[in-house]
Amino acid sequence: AQSVTQLDSHVSVSEGTPVLLRCNYSSSYSPSLFWYVQHPNKGLQLLLKYTSAATLVKGINGFEAEFKKSETSFHLTKPSAHMSDAAEYFCVVIQMDSSYKLIFGSGTRLLVRP
Amino acid sequence: DADVTQTPRNRITKTGKRIMLECSQTKGHDRMYWYRQDPGLGLRLIYYSFDVKDINKGEISDGYSVSRQAQAKFSLSLESAIPNQTALYFCATSDFDSSTDTQYFGPGTRLTVL
């Protein structure tokens, strides 16, 4: 079975500094991985996805993530945080059975200080 | 207009009441999903449907039922609501692609059961 673990429940950064949100995955197969973002009182928006093509994936709003098989990691990064990045971020893996359901991590809340 | 809509957006109900949450999509996708979100737990799958004649249980289907009235409509019912069903509920759709299966989420329904 596939699973993801988000290593930090909360991350706080200052505006203009780098962002690192950590995610480790467990999968018997070559996984398909996603990062979704949820702004307050909003639905979930896809940031980026990894599907066994390039290991460095670029997403929207300047975010990117690097798939590292040796470390079973898929960390999300951004060089410079903006106040509008404050939200909850979910690392997600597809369960590779007949359901193809999404398995969500528990989420990381990103706080951006002025 | 939003591609995935949910009604109502907020609902307060009492224990024992029957309640229906509705989801509509204009993306033309065959696959639809219902998730619930609880703090610190990410999203968990309640039911999913691959087409009008196909309904499948997710990991937490007890106490819920669904109806796929048309390709574009997927309703979630709580036959007799209980307080631990208080949560944020999301509908999602996808256009199946075995390698990615990107899901698109509605804005959510916040349900409170007193």
A1, pLDDT greater than 70: yes
Residue B24 has what pLDDT?
97
Percent of chain A at pLDDT > 70 equals 99
A33, pLDDT greater than 80: yes
Residue A95 has what pLDDT?
78
Residue A97 has what pLDDT?
73
Beta strands B103-105; B87-94: pairing state? antiparallel
pLDDT digits (tens, 9 = 90+) for B2-54: 699 999 999 999 999 999 999 999 989 989 999 999 987 788 999 999 889 99
pLDDT digits (tens, 9 = 90+) for B70-111: 999 999 999 999 999 999 999 999 876 655 668 889 999 999
CA A100 to chain centre: 18
Closest by Cβ to A106, choosing from B41, B56, B103: B41
A99, pLDDT greater than 80: no
CB B73 within 8 A of CB B20: no
Q: How far apart are CA A89 and CA A77, in angstroms?
A: 11
Closest by Cβ to A99, choosing from B48, B99, B108: B48
Q: Determine the average pLDDT of the residues in A8-35.
A: 93
Q: Which of residues 7-36 of A touch B (CB under 8 A)?
A: 9, 32, 34, 36
Residue B99 has what pLDDT?
54
Q: How far apart are CA A95 and CA A78, in angstroms?
A: 27
CA B77 to chain centre: 9
A96, pLDDT greater than 80: no
Nearest CA in chain B to A6: B42
Q: Determine the average pLDDT of the residues in A76-85.
A: 97
Q: Determine the average pLDDT of the residues in A41-50.
A: 88
